[in-house]
Structure 1
Amino acid sequence: MSTEHAHPWSRYVALGDSFTEGIGDPEPGVPGGHRGWADRAAEVLARGDHDFAYANLAVRGKLIQQIIDEQIEPALELRPDLITISAGGNDVIRPGTDPDEIGARFEYMIERLSRDRATIVVFTGVDVGFSPVFRGIRGKVAIYNENVRRVAQKHDCIVADQWALTEIQDQRMWAPDRLHLNPLGHHTVARMVLAALNVDNDLQPLRPEPLPHTSWRQARAEDLSWAREYLVPWVLRRIRHQSSGDHVTPKRPEAGPFEDATPPAPRDS
């Protein structure tokens, strides 16, 4: 399906943390080695328009204030007419943080990004009630989401509503670390973002196909493996005030034609 002239945007900049960087969706052939929902959406937006430019400034592990300090001005310098911003998730999952205070920082960020009247897409957090690890902060995520919706209404932003995206409330959509989406999850979010932008596309649901169901015994063994490999290091980084994004640079710091990193052919399902 051609999307030529199907949307009004020519310069897209994505801001945020690991979610937007594409962690969980490894692809050695693209910048940074991760594809993710933003790349997948940009692939569609770029079809039929050789002048379409895309930059991705997102870096894993970043808190909302770090995104404000490190990404807003570089983004505005690129003069985008389309911005996606997902920020605050790393703050919300930290113990003792206040979703209203995070929401206030989010509003400040949107006020600054609104300077040049670009279309801005914001994200609500996932309904984590399905997750044994994160269901305890479900109410906190819900409060933060209400702040995001309030800010979006005030500043005329488009809301990409992950809370309502029930498809990703399924462990088969998530990477082994249970914190990041896998390729299927990123593909599903890309479809949701394009729908929020009202952009026609030929991305099909559940392709790439989800992993097969696992047995109860295998799932419990995976719980122990996950705790050793992901949970313990994450806790230690919090204690040491370290971030997985320390010393990591944006994978696409300049807005350029998307053809310079054409993704590989689709995998067989």
Structure 2
Amino acid sequence: MRPVRYVALGDSLTQGVGDPTPGGWRGWAALLADGLAEEPAEFTNLAVSGARTRDVLERQTAEGLRRRPDLVSVVIGVNDTLRGTFDIHTVAARLDRVYAAFTAQGAVLLTACLPDPGAMLGLPGALARPLARRQRAVNAVVHALSDRYGAVHLHAARGAWLTDRALWSADRLHPGERGHRQLAVRFHALLADAGVATGPAPSPEPEFPAPARTASLWWLATAGTGWLVRRCTDLLPQLLGLAVDEVRHRARGTGARLDLRAARAVSVALAALAAAERPDGADGVDVACRLSGGVRP
């Protein structure tokens, strides 16, 4: 009997940034792979730091499909929210194509919703709220598409683990070893409940000592700062404009309009995908109504 084939797609989170080992980054996906079966899994990590949904669709998916995995994890989206070109319609269309390709091949799909980067970085409210709104939009799309394709889905956008500093690395965007292990443990539990993971659960206890505070601060001031700047350069002018708009709406007491606008964009994006599958568009109307809280006309 051949080993379980597991392919991981995504960005720096899945690549393992924040969980250094003597051989390089490890991360939650590698830890999870060890517990998928009694025998070692055939694990391929295609995740790349800085990747967006476009990279997953255009660069990682073809290689992943070629390996014909039994399990594929697709955890992506935060880098999309950090770019000036963010568009939830495009994000939804790309994820839909990736999910469809792997499930059509018979792979079990593993997904997750993620915390917003503004909150994790501790940005001021006027800057953090627009990023939070974008991440909520991505999460709503991931929720809906995960349900459509029968994915095993982890709700990682909320919970006490987000505020436990012992679980996070110095940059506050990536988990440390403890955090990666928490993700691996939670993913494994979901897969075990679904009858997919039959091996031992990953240990939640770290294998290596946590980096000294001075080492963490040095990394943040050098490599970590460069990492953040590379991902946010084209966003900064737009984010400042969004912050001004945020302040203006809050002063007028109309801040709810921004949330409604974002929810409407998600609704339209998902309705468009459903309508493309069903030319009469009936299912698209249902999707839009459920997400907007409205009623079917």
Among 194, 197, 204, the residue aligned to 2:191: 197
Write the deviation string for residues 191-227 of structure 1: whole angstroms up to 9, x where unpaired: 1110111246344445469969x9xxx9xxx5x9846
Partner residue, 2:110: 121
Among 78, 81, 90, the residue aligned to 1:92: 81
Among 40, 46, 56, the residue aligned to 2:45: 56
Partner residue, 1:132: 122
Query: 1:160–1:193: 8 Å Cα contact kept in structure 2?
Result: yes
Identical-pair percentage: 28
Give, in angstroms, the shift of residue 171 of structure 1.
2.8
Q: Which has the higher contact order (CA 8 A, sep 6+)?
A: 1
Give, in angstroms, the shift of residue 110 of structure 1.
1.0
Greater displacement, 13-22 / 126-135: 126-135
Partner residue, 1:249: none
Partner residue, 1:235: 229
Inter-CA distance 9–225: structure 2 relative to 1 (3 Å threshold): closer
Query: 2:188–2:201: 8 Å Cα contact kept in structure 1?
Result: no
1:13 partner SS: strand
Inter-CA distance 43–146: structure 2 relative to 1 (3 Å threshold): same
Partner residue, 1:38: 29
Relative to the length of structure 1, the TM-score reads: 0.71
The one-letter amino acid paired with 2:152 is: I
Among 40, 57, 79, the residue aligned to 1:68: 57
Relative to the length of structure 2, the TM-score reads: 0.65
Root-mean-square deviation (CA, aligned residues, Å) is 3.3
Please identify which structure carries the higher helix content. Answer: 2
In structure 2, how many angstroms separate the alpha carbons of the residues matched to 1:9 and 1:160?
A: 24
Greater displacement, 203-212 / 77-86: 203-212
Query: 1:24–1:183: 8 Å Cα contact kept in structure 2?
Result: yes
In structure 2, how many angstroms separate the alpha carbons of the residues matched to 1:184 and 1:204?
A: 10
* Structure 1 portions without partners, runs of 5+: 242-269
**Matching of residues 162-177 of structure 1 within 5 Å:** 162-177=156-171
Query: 2:7–2:43: 8 Å Cα contact kept in structure 1?
Result: yes
1:18 paired with 2:12, answer yes
Partner residue, 1:187: 181
**Matching of residues 210-225 of structure 1 within 5 Å:** none
Give, in angstroms, the shift of residue 17 of structure 1.
1.1
The one-letter amino acid paired with 1:43 is: D
In structure 1, how many angstroms separate the alpha carbons of the residues matched to 2:51 and 2:112?
A: 16
Inter-CA distance 237–156: structure 2 relative to 1 (3 Å threshold): closer
Give, in angstroms, the shift of residue 168 of structure 1.
3.3
Give, in angstroms, the shift of residue 98 of structure 1.
2.6
1:178 paired with 2:172, answer yes
Please tell me whether Structure 1 or Structure 2 has the larger radius of gyration of its CA atoms. Answer: 2
Give, in angstroms, the shift of residue 172 of structure 1.
2.5
